[in-house]
Amino acid sequence: MSLFISNAYAQTAPAGQPGGGLDMIIMLVAFGLIFYFLIYRPQAKRLKEHKNLMAALAKGDEVLTGGGLVGRISKIADDKDFVIIALNDTTEVTVQKGAISAVLPKGTLKSL
């Protein structure tokens, strides 16, 4: 009723669209597939590879830890999840098996 503000009138509700629920289900399935192939599957593959790496550890393997230490495995404790890594002839470090990120090829320590 004002000179500067126009009146607002409610519009009639549009008619419902048939099959509107099917679109939502298709979209949820598509997001589920995207989540599976881009996030879950690669992470599960990496976890499986790391478990195989932990199971294949043996005395004398040259390894790289997550902290950046490079050394040779001198002892593996099966009852615990720890390994003793010899960094050189006099220094040994105890680390968890999960901290080992890679097994290096033989002779890597001599080339460093």
User: pLDDT tens digits for the chain (112 residues)?
Assistant: 567 777 777 777 676 666 567 888 999 999 999 999 999 999 999 999 999 988 889 999 999 999 999 999 999 987 778 999 999 989 999 999 989 999 999 988 888 8
Total-model pTM: 0.66
Residue with token string 């550890």: 57
CA atoms within 13 A on the CB side of 100: 31
Q: Looking at the domain 58-111, which fold is it?
A: SH3 type barrels. (2.30.30)
CA distances from 103 to 20, 50, 56 (A): 54, 11, 10
Beta-ladder partners of 29: none
